Structure 1
Amino acid sequence: MTPARTPLSRDALAPLARAALGPTRRLDTVTRLHGGSKKGVYRLTLDDASTAIAYVWSPDEDYWDAPPADPRDPFSHASGLDVFTASHERLTALGIRTPSLLFADPTHTHLPADAAIVEDLPGGTLEELLRRDPHAAAGALKDLAATLTAMRAHTAPRFGKVALVDDGGSVHGASCEAVVRDRALRDTEEAAAREPRVAAVHDRLDHRLHELFAAVRPRVRHSVVHGELGPDHVLLDADGRPALIDIEGLMYFDAEWEHAFLQLRFGPHYEALRTDDLDEDRLRLYRLALHLSLVAGPLRLLDGDYPEPGPMRGIAEHNLERALEFVRR
């Protein structure tokens, strides 16, 4: 059995906190927040009761055990300070709310890993508010819809991670839809090796992916998308305004990819975010690809020592049922 990973201690994070927040402040307590699978997220509470959030990107905090990321792959493992700061700069330039970056340490001076300190927003997640009081979340959903509109308005002639495209780089793949199809074919292969129900319909899923891909018409411009924008990746500030987190995967891509994910994660609340000018052919391909990704990814994560296996199994099971619907029609 793989030994449990040990969260960073107050003493380990104290030098980073001093560098970010000043030598006169004392770090009182450190709490590792739940849910992170690619980086460690720690709430730092100081001696004056103020708080900040530390992000730590290190192998000990990354449960995916992924190979080194190829930035030319739009869906490569999005983890690290470089993609975080590039995404933060792009969102900030667009006027999109995200927790303020207070300090970044790319030199590993204060920890033997990439690290950053950002503001701690007090309003909790949009997911929590939707569960507790959907009526009270109406304003945040309206603001989030405006955020999505602003992101979609900023386009680029190439697709790929913001960090790459904004620096003039190019990606692998002929088009967004080709990259999605090829990734979905790999996800099907990988899921079939772990799940007999996928293996039983492997060829039918492959055929359906090719069929849906063939219906998609070419596109030459792409907009900013978060890529995994569920309500758990939206924090609320003191005024109840939404702020995007887990932004390392920010890329120029098709808005349909974003909306396929939004529809899946927001469920009945998606109506507040819906837009009517999306390409239905792209949406169909992207929905199936997304379901297959959310089967293969969680099953792969469960091969390791991820500390919350129950929710991951639930994600895989739900998306398996949704993917199978595409070959039962």
Structure 2
Amino acid sequence: MAAGAQAARSAQETASPYAVVEHGRREDRTETEALSGIVHEALGAGFRVVGVDRLRGGSKKGVHRVHVDGPRAASVIVYSWAEAENFWPAADDIDEAHPFAPASGLVPFLAAQRRLDRIGVRVPEVLLADDSRRRFPADMAVVEDVAGGTLEALWDTAPARAADALSELAAMLDVMHRRHSRQYGRLDVLERGDKASGVSCEQLVLERALGDLGEAAERDPGIGSAAAALHDRLQQLAARVAPRREHRLIHGELGPDHVLVDASGHPVLIDIEGLMFFDVEWEHVFLRLRFGERYPALSQPGLDPARLDLFMLAMRLSLVAGPLRLLDGDFPHRALMRGIAEHNAREALALLVE
């Protein structure tokens, strides 16, 4: 498959097209003034904000590129975790300690950024974190602008540079996956001394998959007609998984659009709020979906085939139910979400005949 075709297919797997400017869309004056105050606090009064672009940053937070003039011309990225930036429908009785609870906010972001930086995994530098809401009605962070583009984009524009970055990304993942814990759960939950919900990773994945199947069956006719068979298949795959007592540090949603490449060609991980200790196979199933024919560069020995089988079907069902749930709200990129749901519904049904 050609690189361009692979990138197009990759874009259909998940939706977080970070770092693509929505051309022509500018912040309003009030929001720009608020962002200016935050950036001045981060960089110093000698810098003057000269422009703000809103970037497509996924579905849970606002992402703004703020251009400044001063001792050196530059730009920074501002994340804002405002309610208005979260396109997911509100849910009642969310268990915040659940590994699959929505991973969004300044606290999980800072916990993940500190841990990854400490172990030598490149992430954007944090210039300012602000939860006071004095200048802006949301928690915010000003971070380094890694302006070299995404790894996904580089596959078409600079394939040799992308190949080098992919190789380095494999080494970074090895560093992460060698960090073990007897407990599983999102990093910020574990750091505050809480225990994650559930009895095992595989049981959590099964429960989530059954819930996703129920949602998807109500909205997608193909999934609905095969719901009983998919339910039985999930139970069969879960029964093959042996207990495990050790978990590894994973990103949890790592696609080539969640990897920036800096000016020196080094990969930089973003959208890190979901960093957690979990079964490493959950990471590899997602990597396989998003990196496609390039996944072998990231594969690791010793993965559990039984977990991979269960997690793959679970992931497909999640990528049907999740996008359809997002369409209940006013998420703007609706055709993309619909395409993701339809693609993954076909792939989930194909797993019944393997």
Normalised to the residue count of structure 2, the TM-score between the two structures is 0.89
Deviations 1:152-208 (A, max 9, x none): 111111000001113322011110000000000000111112111111111111111
1:307 Cα shift? 1.0
Stretch deviating more after TM superposition (193-202 or 5-14)? 5-14
Q: In structure 2, the residue corresponding to 1:326 is in which secondary structure?
A: helix
Match of 2:12 in 1: none
Q: Does 1:177 align with 2:202?
A: yes
Q: Aligned AA for 2:43?
A: L
Say if 2:26 and 2:52, in contact at 8 Å, map to a contact too: no
- Residue by residue over 1:213-246, the C-alpha shift from the partner in whole angstroms, topping out at 9 and shown as x without a partner, is 0000111010110000000000011111001000
Residue 61 of structure 1 is matched in structure 2 by: 85
Which structure ranks higher in relative contact order (CA pairs < 8 Å, sequence separation ≥ 6)? 2
Residue in structure 2 matching 1:244, options 254, 269, 272: 269
One-letter code aligned to 1:158: Q
Unaligned runs of at least 5 residues, structure 2: 1-24
- Give the counterpart of 1:31 among 53, 58, 70: 53
Aligned positions of 1:108-257 closer than 5 A = 108-257=133-282
Q: How much does 1:132 deviate?
A: 2.7
Deviations 1:36-89 (A, max 9, x none): 210000000002431000000011111113337533100101110011111111
The residue number in structure 1 matching 2:322 is 297
Q: Report the Cα distance in structure 1 between the residues aligned to 2:113 and 2:56, rounded to whole angstroms.
A: 22
How far apart are 1:7 and its partner, in Å? 4.9
| Identity of matched residues, % | 49
The AA in structure 2 aligned to 1:21 is L
In the comparison of the two structures, how many residue pairs are matched? 325
* SS of residue in 1 equivalent to 2:320: helix
Q: Which residue pairs with 2:331 in the alignment?
A: 306
CA distance in 2, matches of 1:135, 1:242: 14
Matched residue type, 1:33: L
Are 2:112 and 2:273, in contact at CA under 8 Å, matched by a contact in 1? yes
Deviation at 1:296, TM superposition (A): 0.4
Q: Secondary structure at the match of 2:353?
A: coil
Task: Say yes or no: does 1:40 pair with 2:65.
Answer: no
| 1:51 has 2:60 as partner | no
For residues 64-122 of structure 1, what are the alpha-carbon distances to aligned partners after superposition, in whole Å with 9 as ceiling and x for unaligned?
13337533100101110011111111111111100001100012122110100000012
Cα distance, 1:22 vs. partner? 1.1
Q: Is the 8 A contact 2:111 2:187 kept in 1?
A: yes
Q: Is the 8 A contact 1:230 1:266 kept in 2?
A: yes
Q: CA RMSD in A?
A: 1.5
Q: State yes or no: 1:74 paired with 2:96.
A: no
The amino acid of 1:83's aligned partner reads P
